[in-house]
Amino acid sequence: MINKDAIRAVVKAQHYAPFEVLGPHVTEAGLCIRTMQPHAAKAEVIEAATGVAQAMERIHKDGLFEITLPGREPFAYRLRMTRSDGTGWEVADPYACPLQITDFDQYLFGEGTHYRTYDKMGAHPLTIAGEAGVHFAVWAPNGARVSVVGDFNRWDGRSHPMQSRGSSGLWELFIPGLKVGDLYKFEIKSREGSLMTKADPYAFSSELRPKSASRVCDVRQHTWRDSAWLEHRQRTNWHEQPISVYEVHLGSWRRVPEQRNRWLTYRELADQLIPYVKDLGFTHIELLPVSEHPLDGSWGYQTIGYYAPTSRFGSPEDFAEFVDRCHQAGLGVLVDWVPAHFPRDGHGLAYFDGTHLYEHADPRKGEHKDWGTLIFNYGRNEVRAFLLSNALYWADVFHIDGLRVDAVASMLYLDYSRKAGEWIPNEFGGRENLEAVSFLKKFNEVVHTEYPGFLTFAEESTAWPMVSRPTYLGGLGFDFKWNMGWMHDTLEYFTKDPIYRKFHHNHITFSLLYAFTENFILPFSHDEVVHGKGAMLAKMPGDHWQQFANLRLLYALMYAHPGKKLLFMGSEFGQWNEWDYHRSLDWHLCQYAPHQGLQALLRELNGLLRAQPALHQVDFSWEGFQWIDFHDSQQSVVSFIRRGRTPGDDLVCVFNATPMSRAGYRVGVPGAAPLVCMLNTDDAHFGGSGTAPVLRVQPERTPWQGQSCSVVLTLPPLGALILKPVVGA
């Protein structure tokens, strides 16, 4: 006989272990079956083998039903419920289905070493004991009760309470009859009695904002056709390969104005974005965060659904198709990843089970006041498992080729953007966030071990040492680090009127003092074309012709400088307006010759980057770079040599940052072989003046600038020349 306290706990939705009350139980009196059906007027048990239905007794007015079958052992059955209006439904009993999370799963999860938690957590369509349905699991260790709610139970937490798995803090339940597409959330009652309805942290799909329910999804239904790409990725040494990244915000790259300015879908983006990027010669597409986020204006950097590709552009299957088609076209796909912080939205991770679960309780460690967000508790094993599994999830389920980790500096320092007294020192009295450092190292170790060829990028703006060095040498383990110093100094230089550049010459030479301390990628990202900073073209001084010439010169310097490359969308054709996430890029500009010329230059630069080993093979060592002259500040000219592994791969690069054409300019070169011009940014094809073409020059045996020979050139105005020796000529 069930006691009154247990009945009260079930009907009031307060029982943490409903399997102890509900479902089939062998008792001295026989087989007892109980079900909680708050929306049923009557309930019956239907024996699967015979089809015989037997009425259950209502033992509590709120909808608890029971039947005792003397002398019976457990058997397969279904439940049939009838509403007061005579309508009804029939289901298998969730509490007759076995639990799925093993003791080993719980152990690894608690240890923080379960790196495939997404295979167990969240909502998974399964067939158990012959019944198709969905298995749910969630981590809420401080919840007094957790239920699955949705349209299928009128969002009533009394109908499907989950089973607590004890000290692991996990809760689970299999609900027969549910299917892909069904909406759900978790209703959590805290130990203090408050009631919260939360989206699934491991949801694989979500409703489109402002709605926030999670959606049952089978994310492994896509049939992949990218095996050749994945094999190529795994065997490639990316440090010695050309990498030029086209950074994209999917919601504003291109829209459909005639259809209420709607977004393109993932499949439409595959049709339009992939051939565009491929034609321009970029090697990778980098997507601003595609994880589900409630606020468009956060650009995805305030993530709610870490495991759900945003529903703005389609389904997870549609996203998989986009990635697959990128790979088939020979393009890698990088995704911005945000393990640094998360928003406070009520349906999200914040205060998840009535306690500070994913975030630190102390605001001195748990809040980003600048962003109004919360900081993950990297010292908690289950939080580490959540994040580490998420990194692997994108590589595993969606074949993503790399992650760019956002806001790494904010993770590394306890006093990041904090005043004295607003932060807590670490155990040694320092400002370093040791738990975050440990997490980042583990992240890089795990993803590189599990997926060779997978790339990680750190957006890290400080002088933290060895960001892109292996963890076994004491580094953080990233493949590449964003060179924010180069970006800042170079833009500072190019925004100056050329007449003043001679006073700021060090801004384009200083980066070579530290260029090989890390594996750098040179970024002109979305952050540089918003918030009043102006578009790349609009930053340039002078009249329109000079602005385009300056930008062509800047891009040529970027591609010749050691390091991999990244450019934000719109910058390749000379967008005049700042980026606005609300609307499309200004594609109409591409009908005009100057903008077409800029596109042509980017196409040529990407072609050179791929074809010339000197521009990509030795990016991270002095062996790949030699100054010819960095002293000519008065004429704002710099020159250097880029080298590959083979001497015949050398390139001579000369840059004139003034609008004056400089005739008779002597440049030292490393030998007597004739030089052919590989690039002249002043070429008329790119929108330049075309007045001083350089096709082929013969060096003189006149030593100059530390070189054995020299050439006399006419330097184009605001122009760059890249010359290559003709070996054996």
Q: Which residues are catalytic?
A: 406, 459
User: Torsion-angle region of residue 307: left (phi > 0), alpha (psi -120 to 50) or beta?
Assistant: alpha
Three-state SS at 545: helix
Torsion sign across C-alpha atoms 286, 290, 293, 297? positive
Q: How many CA atoms lie less than 13 Å away from 250 in the CB half-sphere?
A: 29
Element (H, E) at 110: helix 103-111
Instruction: Write a three-state SS string for 385-433.
Output: HHHHHHHHHHHHHHCCCEEEECCHHHHHECCCCCCCCCCCCCCCCCCEC
Residue among 586, 483, 600 nearest 538 (CA)? 586
Tell me the helix, strand and coil percentages in the chain, rounded to 5.
30, 25, 45
* Angstrom distance (rounded) from CA 656 to CA 713: 11
Spatial CB neighbours of 251, under 8 Å, sequence gap ≥ 6: 263, 296, 312, 313, 581
Looking at residue 272, its amino acid is Q
* Angstrom distance (rounded) from CA 231 to CA 226: 9
Element (H, E) at 154: none
Maximal C-alpha separation, the chain = 109
The tokens for 313 are 């552009």
700 secondary structure, DSSP code:
B
61 secondary structure, DSSP code:
T
Taking CB atoms within 8 Å and a gap of at least 24, the contacts of 450-453 are 450/115, 450/392, 450/395, 450/396, 451/234, 451/392, 451/395, 451/396, 452/234, 453/233, 453/234, 453/235, 453/236, 453/238, 453/401
* Angstrom distance (rounded) from CA 681 to CA 480: 28
Tokens 């549609």 identify what position?
318
526 secondary structure, DSSP code:
G
Per-residue b/e over 232-266, b at no fewer than 16 CB within 10 Å? Answer: ebeeeebbeebbbbbbbbbbbbbbeeeeeeebbbb
Per-residue b/e over 495-504, b at no fewer than 16 CB within 10 Å? Answer: ebebeebeeb
Phi–psi pair at 574, nearest 5 degrees: 85, 55
